[in-house]
Amino acid sequence: MRKQTKLVAVLSAAALLAIGASMTSFAAQGWTEADGTWVYLDKDGYKVTDSWKKSGNFWYYLDEDGYMATSKLIENGDSNNNTYYVDETGRMVTNDWVELENEDYYDGANDDEPETVYYYFQNSGKAYKTSGPTSFKPINGKKYAFDENGHMLWGWVGDTSNRCPGDDGYKTGGVYYCGDSNDGARVSGDWRYLYIGTENRTDDSEDDTYWFYFDTNGKKVCTDEEYMDARTPSDDVFKTKKINGKTYAFDTEGKMINKWSVSTVATASDIDGYYSTSDDGARKKGWFQAVPSASINPTANADDEAKWFYANNDGSLVYDAIKTISNKKYAFDSNGEMLSGLWALKVDNNVIEDYYQFEEEAAVDHIHTYVPTGWDVYYFGDDSDGAMKTGSQNVDVDGERYQFSFGKSGASKGKGVNAPQGNILYSHGKRIKADSDYRYQVFGTDGEAITTMTEGSAVTSAGYLVNASGSIMKGSGLYTDSDGRQFRVNKNPGVDTYTVTFEKTKD
């Protein structure tokens, strides 16, 4: 900003000539030259002091000794203690800036104070001053704020007509940003890339310069004060804002987030996710792969393991949900990570309320005991796939391969089959087979092997005899396992189960 009026310390000879020319017509009205300057005599011939006198279109000030003031700040220049300034010709400055030496600047001893300060004098000649709430004044198409002394505010500005000096002004009350000491214009509806100092870095960040966005009212975008009143401030609390069609997030201090963050958003009550890159800070949309932050997934972060995520068109991260994307269904956990592999899920209207991943052989072998009532088993392929599978699938868990079957359509689509199909028994999708060491085994309807039996008695009145290939035995003959135990099966009328009897042990 180019301020046109500068401090003049010494009245030049040329200026005196200019004053003389302007005062030629003053003598008849009380003006007279004295001691190389001008005075104003009242009707009794006494010098007028501490008063304004007008000549033509201009006002002039007579100081405490009665001499016309020049190049001087007139404090308490009227009954309301307003501040004025007269230039080198003695005229009251109006509608203009004036730059003066800063009395609080001691040869650089105070780094937070500039060598000079700016005043703006209105059409009335009064300097803009503000005490109390910050008030911005429109000047030549820009907006400026002033303190109680009339000094133009600059840098980080608080909401009580105060400067928030230092690199940390953004977090010590700074609400507005008004450029450097030679600028002062309020930033509105725009970005600024501002230095915050190495001592203000957060966590393990190496950034000491951040982007801030200032709304059309000039206030930095950050978490709402009303919201923060009920919380302990944290870098994981953020506010989102759409700017030029892209969504950005800002932390409690107004710094734009260009990293992972999952937290409670100031405008929502649910856990939400946010991801952006240092390229532009805009929230991602659609599929993206990234290493989660330590707060989201410490193991993956430590291993530098990238995960897949999906963001809706509005930039919100999909989490705790089954979502159809390009005609395929995918599942996402509470951190927004795409699921892969074999999972037991509790789902209500595509919302995942709880989940469990099958990662060990023992869990799959006894799958029924790991799937609570109201849950279903799903398979989402490997890490590079993630799409929900249907029909027959080979599933590898903990080095073992299992055969599964999942519903193909309707409400059962993707869910593990949980009933016999033809000659095959399924439990939560897993094909039930006898251990090859036994040749035959008796299973209940839940797919669990029944090992307690008494010769000559029914092992189960509602179950199945299954061989090592996974076929249900339906014939009327005796079936002998590897231990010589002989079983007979009888179809139960009206239901798809069998009574399996341990007839005897073969001699």
Which residues lie across from 175 on neighbouring strands? none
pLDDT at 59 over 80: yes
CA distance 295 to 293: 5
CATH number of this structure's domain 318-431: 2.10.270.10
Predicted confidence at residue 205, as pLDDT, reads: 53
Residue-wise pLDDT for 299-311, tens only, equals: 988 999 989 999 8
Tokens of 130: 């503000």
Tokens of 203: 């966590």
Domain assignments of the chain as residue spans, ordered by start:
31-93, 239-317, 318-431, 434-506
Q: 195 near 212, Cβ under 8 Å?
A: no
The more confidently predicted of residues 108 and 119 is 119
Q: 152 near 184, Cβ under 8 Å?
A: yes
pLDDT at 8 over 50: no
pLDDT at 222 over 60: yes
DSSP classification of residue 68: B
Q: 344 near 355, Cβ under 8 Å?
A: yes
Q: What angle do CA 283, 285, 290 make, to 5 degrees?
A: 75
Tell me the percentage of the chain whose pLDDT exceeds 70: 84
Distance of CA 453 to the CA centre of its chain: 62
Regarding the domain delimited by 31-93, which CATH topology (the fold level of the hierarchy) does it fall under?
left handed beta-beta-3-solenoid (2.10.270)
Residue-wise pLDDT for 162-213, tens only, equals: 999 999 999 999 999 999 999 999 999 999 999 998 666 655 555 689 999 9
The more confidently predicted of residues 200 and 96 is 96
Q: 426 near 416, Cβ under 8 Å?
A: yes
The more confidently predicted of residues 333 and 239 is 333
Question: Which candidate, 151, 142, 148, places its Cα nearest to that of 121?
Answer: 151
Residues 6+ apart with CB under 8 A from 499: 458, 460, 461, 462, 463, 489, 490, 492
Mind giving me the DSSP string for 121-157? E-TTSPBP---SS--EEEETTEEEEB-TT-PBP-SEE
Predicted confidence at residue 200, as pLDDT, reads: 61
b (16+ CB within 10 A) / e for 315-350: bbbbbbbbeeeeeebbbbbebbbbbbbbbbbbbeee
Q: 222 near 254, Cβ under 8 Å?
A: yes
pLDDT at 386 over 90: yes
Question: Which candidate, 321, 333, 284, 290, places its Cα nearest to that of 308?
Answer: 290
pLDDT at 289 over 60: yes
Residue-wise pLDDT for 117-135, tens only, equals: 999 999 999 999 999 999 9
Predicted confidence at residue 96, as pLDDT, reads: 98
Residues 6+ apart with CB under 8 A from 81: 75
b (16+ CB within 10 A) / e for 223-255: beeeebeeeeeebbbbbbbebeeebbbbbbbbb
| pLDDT band (50, 70, 90) for residue 15 | very low
Distance of CA 24 to the CA centre of its chain: 69
CA distance 83 to 80: 9
pLDDT at 12 over 80: no
CA distance 448 to 434: 11
The average pLDDT across 96-104 equals 94
Regarding the domain delimited by 239-317, which CATH topology (the fold level of the hierarchy) does it fall under?
left handed beta-beta-3-solenoid (2.10.270)
3 state SS of 226: helix
Q: 189 near 221, Cβ under 8 Å?
A: no
pLDDT at 360 over 80: yes
156-157 and 176-177: which strand pairing?
Answer: antiparallel
Q: 271 near 235, Cβ under 8 Å?
A: no
pLDDT at 493 over 70: yes
Predicted confidence at residue 261, as pLDDT, reads: 60
Which residues lie across from 120 on neighbouring strands? 97
Does pTM surpass 0.85?
A: no
Tell me the percentage of the chain whose pLDDT exceeds 90: 69
Tokens of 422: 């033809």
| pLDDT band (50, 70, 90) for residue 297 | confident
The more confidently predicted of residues 238 and 275 is 238
Which residues lie across from 499 on neighbouring strands? 490
| pLDDT band (50, 70, 90) for residue 417 | very high
